[in-house]
Amino acid sequence: MQKYSFVPFLLGAIFACAALATFAPGAFATSDEPVEQSITPWSTPSPESVEASIVEWMVDSSATSQEATEREAGARAELDRLFTSGDRLDAVMHAVAMSLPEVAETIEACRTTPLEAMQLDWLDSAEVPYWIRSNVRLYVGRALVQQYYYGQALEVLEGLKPSDVFDPASLLFYRSIAEHQLVQIDEAKGTLATLLDAEQEMPERFAQIARLMQADIAKVKEDSLDHIARRMSDVERRLSLSDAGDQTQGVELGILASLDKTIEKLEEQARQRQQQQQQAGSQQSGTPMEDSQPVEQKGEGKVDIKDIGDASGWGNLPPRERERVMQQIGRDFPGHYRDLMEEYLKRLATDEREESQP
């Protein structure tokens, strides 16, 4: 079976952002169609306020003032990074890790085994402030996206709002990547609209990639061949990560259902063309059709039982018509779509053989 790699080039750009300097901010096409936008105003907290929250927590969670002073001193280098580093979330996590071993373990798990980093039961402790819970979840979600675990990332990020974290741009940006790659069209449009509503609050590389994703997802139509191909790419990614569970199987069933709809639509178009050609031929002949006459029946009234295919209706077309539909796909769409349809038909034939076996 031929493999199809439809993962957009955006992912390469995400982790090689230096190349984005060559793009002009207004260089990307946008769709003329209206997009339903769910925009929630957001802003990035100042470095001073973030530092104050961390230091206050160190004081409150320390047994003595001496311990609080030592904690702050140990985290001073990371606290200073809040004012100088482009990666605020990383600075926050490493500063907190100086006083909370569980955060240090989570950082290491994100680097080596991100799926294990999802084990965040320790965050349910009443001793862990809400802002630490939120930023740890964001850190884990970001790591999962960077390792292509998009569905798991959305699970970890579910319910988080920009106001919950110290780096709201990262929350919206990585959530939009996961939604874009999972072809969650409406969700991705809404998240990207919210992200770009405060463009001045985010790094330029985020804004550039967000515009690319926004222009790309605006072109995707539900159950189109493009939509089907993207979901096939998603299944390929899941299987490469050894994920063949219920969610992956659900995506596969959805793909087959969409292919059925596409094939039925193409069949109907072929039938309509055939009827139009027959009507045109009758009109061009100039000879009126004769009245119906009863025909003498000489046969035994028996017919051979034919296999007309499965419930999708594909078998209802003669071989010549099926080939014409396939040729139509080849004319209207890129060549790999014909290969997709041929592979689908092979799968139907295989299923029929398996069902016929005792």
- 8 A C-beta contact, residue 154 and residue 182: yes
CA distances to 11, 23, 200 from 205, in Å: 12, 10, 12
**pLDDT, average across residues 204-214:** 93
The pLDDT tens digits of the residues spanning 149-174 come to 999 999 999 999 999 999 999 999 99
The pLDDT of residue 280 is above 50: yes
Query: What whole-number distance in Å separates Cα of residue 187 and Cα of residue 168?
Result: 17
Query: What whole-number distance in Å separates Cα of residue 222 and Cα of residue 33?
Result: 14
Report DSSP state, residue 19: G
**pLDDT, average across residues 252-260:** 86
Query: What whole-number distance in Å separates Cα of residue 156 and Cα of residue 243?
Result: 17
Q: What pLDDT does 178 receive?
A: 96
Angle in degrees, 0-180, between the axes of helices 319-332 and 335-356, rounded to the nearest 10: 150
Q: What pLDDT does 7 receive?
A: 39
Neighbours of 157 (CB within 10 A): 22
**pLDDT, average across residues 181-206:** 93
Torsion, Cα 265 266 270 276, to 10 degrees, reads 50
The pLDDT tens digits of the residues spanning 75-94 come to 999 999 999 988 999 999 99
For the chain, give the number of residues: 358
Largest CA distance in the chain: 111
**pLDDT, average across residues 313-324:** 59
Amino acid letter, 282: S
Q: What pLDDT does 313 receive?
A: 46
Better pLDDT: 283 or 166: 166
CA atoms within 13 A on the CB side of 44: 22
Whole-prediction pTM: 0.66
Query: What whole-number distance in Å separates Cα of residue 173 and Cα of residue 169?
Result: 6
Q: What pLDDT does 22 receive?
A: 29
Query: What whole-number distance in Å separates Cα of residue 352 and Cα of residue 310?
Result: 8
Amino acid letter, 219: K
The pLDDT of residue 223 is above 50: yes
Q: pLDDT confidence of 345, banded at 50, 70, 90?
A: low
Better pLDDT: 45 or 234: 45
- 8 A C-beta contact, residue 190 and residue 37: yes
The pLDDT of residue 3 is above 90: no
Q: Show the tokens assigned to 301.
A: 């009234």
Of 95-99, 180-184, 187-191, 272-276, least confident by mean pLDDT is 272-276
Task: Provide the residue ranges of all domains of the chain, joining segments of one domain with +.
Answer: 47-220, 233-280+314-358
Q: What pLDDT does 262 receive?
A: 82
Q: Is 294 exposed, middle or buried (0-12, 13-18, 19+ CB in 10 A)?
A: exposed
Q: pLDDT confidence of 265, banded at 50, 70, 90?
A: confident
| Nearest CA-CA partner of 62 in 107, 103, 106, 100 | 100
Q: The domain at 47-220 falls in which architecture?
A: Alpha Horseshoe (1.25)
- 8 A C-beta contact, residue 89 and residue 166: yes
Residue 296 phi, psi (nearest 5): -65, 130
Q: pLDDT confidence of 214, banded at 50, 70, 90?
A: very high
Query: What whole-number distance in Å separates Cα of residue 347 and Cα of residue 326?
Result: 16
Better pLDDT: 30 or 236: 236
The pLDDT of residue 145 is above 50: yes
Amino acid letter, 246: D
The pLDDT of residue 312 is above 60: no
The pLDDT tens digits of the residues spanning 4-33 come to 333 333 344 333 333 333 233 333 333 334
Of 46-60, 135-149, 301-315, least confident by mean pLDDT is 301-315
**pLDDT, average across residues 352-356:** 61
- 8 A C-beta contact, residue 218 and residue 33: yes
Query: What whole-number distance in Å separates Cα of residue 218 and Cα of residue 33?
Result: 8
